[in-house]
């Protein structure tokens, strides 16, 4: 029995702020930042957008792309580190606004930037076991970064939804296998009630991102007896442009393999959406039979690796919902003052 992706849908707010504009405010050198981060602009949510609205838009895009009956969805899991409520699920909002309620299970996931892929894995399990027909797994964030912190240059907004099923004829991609590598590594966190995350600076690199991504990726390839050259595409968590490029070369993947899914230079880091939007962007252009290798990373820390094989059905569904490239096109650029207002950094009344 195969398990895989029945449909997918992405959502990115239409506003962007350029790195130069943020650097202008703080007196930083934008050129150094851009070449260091390999990020040039990032998405900005509208004043009335949050993780729930982004998750709903992504879920609706996924449902309309495949024309499935939303009532078939038996589980809704939304991964995010910016759930609008500390207590009260985002996933119930998504389920109701997708027309999937009431016969389903739902919960919110949090594992820094890999909560969305954890949701995918949970849905894979439920679908494989026959507990549910279809599962809706979402990664979405209006990413937080304190003003003036390095994160502010990349923390972006966006989300993506995957409908996971097990009927071979319905799948646009088969998830051949998944493998996770997890340790307790405090490289990045946000305490209860605090508005912005804290991070360990360079500690987020080697002991965090690189250790967990490489171990998860290698673990999956060892388990499956595959190697980088078996894959047409590769996607890695994209906190900036540099980390995924470096980890790709560490693992033996080429620039050509990662480029189609490398959306961070124009999108920024959508946290829980990051790797999953990269996978969506890759599905947008993959051919039937193509294989995609993907590894998400979540601080705290863990890596989720996936081996994905695209099916013939991709051609049928691809154009039925906005592609990531279309969502990135024609943005509306905002200055820092409007950005501050959109992000709720200006309190009125």
Partner 1 sequence: MSVARFWRNQIARYNLVGTKCKKCGEHFYPPRNMCPACRRDGQIEDFKFNGHGEVLTFTIIHTAAEGFENQTPYVLGIIKLQEGPSLTCQIICEPESVYIGMKVKPVFRKLGQDGERGMIYYGNKFIPEQC
Decide: is 203 part of the binding site for partner 1 (CB under 8 A): no
Let me know if 237 is a catalytic residue. yes
Region from 40-48, 135-143, 169-177, 301-309 binding partner 1, contact rule CB under 8 A: 40-48
The CB-of-96 to partner 1 minimum distance in angstroms stands at 6
Query: Of 238, 321, 233, which is closest to residue 272 (Cα–Cα)?
Result: 238
Out of 21, 49, 133, 284, name the contact with partner 1 by CB under 8 A: 49
Contact 303, 180 (CB under 8 A): yes
Nearer residue to partner 1 within complex by CB, 57 or 108: 57
- Return the residues of window 7-36 that contact partner 1 according to CB under 8 A: 14
Q: In the chain, which ranges are E strands?
A: 4-11, 15-18, 41-44, 73-79, 105-109, 134-142, 157-165, 173-185, 188-189, 198-199, 233-236, 291-298, 300-310, 332-333
Region from 46-54, 167-175, 241-249, 251-259 binding partner 1, contact rule CB under 8 A: 46-54
Region from 31-39, 44-52, 147-155, 164-172 binding partner 1, contact rule CB under 8 A: 44-52
Query: Of 91, 17, 19, which is closest to residue 55 (Cα–Cα)?
Result: 91
Out of 44, 52, 275, 276, name the contact with partner 1 by CB under 8 A: 52
- Return the residues of window 98-127 that contact partner 1 according to CB under 8 A: 99
- Return the residues of window 161-180 that contact partner 1 according to CB under 8 A: none
The CB-of-47 to partner 1 minimum distance in angstroms stands at 5
* 342 vs 344: CA distance, rounded Å: 5
Nearer residue to partner 1 within complex by CB, 84 or 125: 84
Q: At what angle do helices 90-97 and 51-66 cross, to 10 degrees?
A: 40
- Return the residues of window 304-343 that contact partner 1 according to CB under 8 A: 332, 341
Task: Determine how many CB atoms are found less than 10 A away from the CB of residue 325.
Answer: 14
* 324 vs 343: CA distance, rounded Å: 23
Let me know if 168 is a catalytic residue. no
51 CB-near residues (< 8 Å, 6+ apart): 78, 80, 82, 83, 84, 90, 140, 141, 142, 159
Let me know if 123 is a catalytic residue. no
The CB-of-97 to partner 1 minimum distance in angstroms stands at 4
User: What tokens were used for 25?
Assistant: 């405010």
- Return the residues of window 83-102 that contact partner 1 according to CB under 8 A: 84-85, 93, 96-97, 99
Of how many residues is the chain composed?
Answer: 349
Over its C-alpha atoms, the chain yields an Rg (Å, rounded) of 19
Give me the active site residues, please.
81, 113, 237
Binding site for partner 1 (CB under 8 A): 14, 46-50, 52-53, 56-57, 60, 84-85, 93, 96-97, 99, 332, 341, 344, 346, 348-349
């Amino acid at each position: 029995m195969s398990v895989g992706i029945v449909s997918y849908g992405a959502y990115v707010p239409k506003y962007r702020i350029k790195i130069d504009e943020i650097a202008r405010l703080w007196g930083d050198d934008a050129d150094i930042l851009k070449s260091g981060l390999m990020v040039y602009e990032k998405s900005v949510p509208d004043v009335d957008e949050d993780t729930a609205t982004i998750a709903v838009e992504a879920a609706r895009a996924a449902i309309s792309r495949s024309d499935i009956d939303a009532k078939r969805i038996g589980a809704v899991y939304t991964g995010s580190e910016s759930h609008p409520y500390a207590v009260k699920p985002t996933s119930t909002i998504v389920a109701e606004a997708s027309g999937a309620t009431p016969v389903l299970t739902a919960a919110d996931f949090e594992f820094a930037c890999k909560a969305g892929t954890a949701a995918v894995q949970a849905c894979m399990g439920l679908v494989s076991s026959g507990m549910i027909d279809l599962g809706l797994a979402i990664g979405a964030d209006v990413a937080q970064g304190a003003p003036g912190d390095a994160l502010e240059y990349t923390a972006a907004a966006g989300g993506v939804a995957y409908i996971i099923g097990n009927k071979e004829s319905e799948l646009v991609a088969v998830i051949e296998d998944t493998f996770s590598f997890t340790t307790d590594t405090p490289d990045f966190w946000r305490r209860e009630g605090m508005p912005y995350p804290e991070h360990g600076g360079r500690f987020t690199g080697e002991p965090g991102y690189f250790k967990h991504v490489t171990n998860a990726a290698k673990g999956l390839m060892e388990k499956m007896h595959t190697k980088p050259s078996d894959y047409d595409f590769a996607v890695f968590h994209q906190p900036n442009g540099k980390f995924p490029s470096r980890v790709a070369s560490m693992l033996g993947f080429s620039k050509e393999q990662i480029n189609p899914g490398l959306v961070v230079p124009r999108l920024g880091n959508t946290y829980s959406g990051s790797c999953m939007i990269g996978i969506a962007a890759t599905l947008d252009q993959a051919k039937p039979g193509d294989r995609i290798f993907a590894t998400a990373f979540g601080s705290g820390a863990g890596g989720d690796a996936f081996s994905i094989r695209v099916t013939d059905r991709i051609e049928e569904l691809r154009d039925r919902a906005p592609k990531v490239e279309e969502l990135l096109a024609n943005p509306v650029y905002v200055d820092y003052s409007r950005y501050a207002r959109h992000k709720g950094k200006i309190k009125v009344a």
